[in-house]
Amino acid sequence: MNLDLSTTYLGLKLRHPLMVAAGPMTEEPRLLPELEQAGAAAVVLPSLWEEQIEHYDVETLRMQHFGADSFGEALTYFPPVEDRRATPDWYLRKIDEAKARVSIPVIASLNGSTLGGWTRYAKQIENAGADALELNIYFLATDPDTTSEQIEERYLELVHSVRSATRLPLAVKIGPFFSSLPNMAKRLVRAGADGLVLFNRFLQPDILLESMEVAPNLALSDSKELRLPLRWIAILRDRLTASLAASTGAHTVEDVLKLLAAGADVVQLNSALLKHGAKHLSYLLDGMHRWLVEKEYQSVQQLIGSMSQANCPDPEQFERANYMKALTSFCSRYPRHV
């Protein structure tokens, strides 16, 4: 039987739904062929951080100026670098090199900090030859006077402006912390997103008890974290026509199949590959293939969305608060008079 694994993501035709998420695995263009050989259908390059570019610019400048013109013997402490760096050239070169090394789609990723920065870099990324662009957006509101409406408007304005600036297929990677995720998703698509990536995992600071210091921390995900994107993909699948990518908690063949069943067009892998290496891709691909053949699917498209909220046997399951449902289940096992 000829099993069709192909899927479409942001309008890009992919051989199958397994792709590599933005992360350390895609940092180095020279390592991308290994991912391609292991079976990756597409790769997302790590984000070009506007803040980082600005930080680099500001810090290099600060470094050049620090201690400069103070002491007659050492008017500077570093060789001049101005002539040799035109940021973000290094990132654009990376796209170029990635495209030269692999034939699968290369999706660039961008995290801007200013409106102008988002659009400017988006254009440059398009010109550098990326196949699509993933916008990595988050605003961590700490000011009690900042309202959720204001934050949401910033997201939308940003997506809209990038959409106006580039013709590239556009994905928006978001976090789960919106009061009404479906509403936000709908507005993002209306603003120009061709797809959503669910979800961004944020740096979670830790406290080091020994030294009483705060330390940045981001542990690799595990399968348990799958539930969050699973629920929302299942809910959003029926309400959006845009592409959906699952990007958290896919480690096993079962994880991948569940996310597809919920409605993900593609599954982005990162932690699993960091744990097990690029070869894990072929393991997942083989397992998915085997399962689909075993269950006599003819294409992966049959599976995609087959367990979305609308298509699953019990749509309420996705809507109930887990605590209530668990409690009810617990109680229902025993007679009330006990």
Partner 1 sequence: MSANRVYVTLDGNEAAALVAHQTNEVIAIYPITPASPMGEFADAWTQAGRRNLFGDVPQVIEMQSEAGAAGVVHGSLQAGALTTTFTASQGLLLMIPNMYKIAGELTPCVFHIATRTIATHALSIFGDHADAMAVRPTGWGMLFASSVQEAHDFALIAQAATLRARVPFLHCFDGFRTSHEVNKIAVLSVDDMKAMLDADLIQAFRDRALNPDRPVLRGTAQNPDVFFQSREACNPFYAAVPGIVQATFDRFAQLTGRAYRLFEYAGHPQAERVIVLMGSGTGAVQEAVEALTAQGEKVGAVIVRLYRPFDASAFVQALPPTVRSLAVLDRCKEPGAPAEPLCQDVLTALVDAGPQPMPRVIGGRYGLSSKEFTPAMVAAIFRELSLPHPKKRFTIGIHDDVTHLSLDWNPDELPEPPEVTRAVFYGLGSDGTVGANKNSVKIIGENTDLFAQGYFVYDSKKSGAMTVSHLRFGPRPIRSTYLIRKANFVACHQFQFLERVDMLDIAEPGATFLLNSPYSAEEVWDHLPMEVQRDIVQKRLRFFVVDGYRVAAESGLEGRFNTVMQTCFFALSGVLPRDEAIRHIKEGIKKSYGKRGEAIVQKNYAAVDASLAALQEVRVPQQITSTHRRVGWVEGPAPDFVQRVTAMMLAGKGDLLPVSAVPVDGTFPTGTAKYEKRSIALEIPIWDEQLCTQCGLCSMICPHAAIRSKAYTPDDLRDAPSDFPSKPCTGDLAGLRMTVQVAPDDCTGCGLCVSICPARSKEQAKRKAINMEPKREHLLQERQRFDFFTRLPETDRLRVKLDTVRGSQLLEPLFEFSGACAGCGETQYLKLLSQLFGDRAVIANATGCSSIYGGNLPTTPWSTNQAGRGPAWANSLFEDNAEFGLGIRMALDQQETIVRRLLHKLAVPIGEELVRGLLQGAQAHGEAEIAEQRRRIVELRRRLETLDDPDARILHRLADVLVRRSVWIVGGDGWAYDIGFGGVDHVLASGRDVNILVLDTEVYSNTGGQASKATPRAAVAKFAAGGKPIGKKDIAMIAMAYGNVYVAHLAAAANPAQMTRAFLEAESYRGPSLLIAYSHCIAHGIDMEKGIEHQKDAVQTGYWPLFRYDPRLAHAGQKAFRLDSGRPTRKFREFAQKEGRFAMLPGVNPAQAERLLELAQQDIDARWKLYEQLAGLEREAPQALEEVS
Residues that bind partner 1 in the complex, under the rule CB under 8 A: 28, 30, 53-54, 56-61, 63, 65-87, 89-90, 93, 114, 116-117, 120, 212
Nearer to partner 1 by Cβ, of 122 and 230: the residue is 122
Q: Determine the longest span between alpha carbons in the chain, in angstroms.
A: 91
- 3-class DSSP state for residue 212? coil
Q: Retrieve residue 105's tokens.
A: 């789609």
Nearer to partner 1 by Cβ, of 165 and 253: the residue is 165
Distance of closest approach, residue 60 Cβ to partner 1, in angstroms: 6
Instruction: Please provide residue 106's backbone torsions phi and psi, each rounded to the nearest 5 degrees.
Output: -115, 120
Distance of closest approach, residue 253 Cβ to partner 1, in angstroms: 32
Contact call for residues 16 and 7 (beta carbons, < 8 A): yes
Distance of closest approach, residue 68 Cβ to partner 1, in angstroms: 6
Cα–Cα distance for residue pair 174/195, rounded to 1 Å: 11
Contact call for residues 188 and 134 (beta carbons, < 8 A): no
Distance of closest approach, residue 229 Cβ to partner 1, in angstroms: 31
Cα–Cα distance for residue pair 166/238, rounded to 1 Å: 28
Nearer to partner 1 by Cβ, of 86 and 338: the residue is 86
Residue type, position 112, single letter: G
Nearer to partner 1 by Cβ, of 60 and 223: the residue is 60
Nearer to partner 1 by Cβ, of 71 and 323: the residue is 71
Ramachandran category for residue 149: left, alpha or beta (phi over 0 → left; psi -120 to 50 → alpha): alpha
Distance of closest approach, residue 162 Cβ to partner 1, in angstroms: 17
Cα–Cα distance list, 21 to 249, 270, 271, 273 (Å): 12, 5, 9, 10
Residue among 2, 1, 3 nearest 299 (CA): 3
Distance of closest approach, residue 66 Cβ to partner 1, in angstroms: 6
Nearer to partner 1 by Cβ, of 110 and 185: the residue is 110
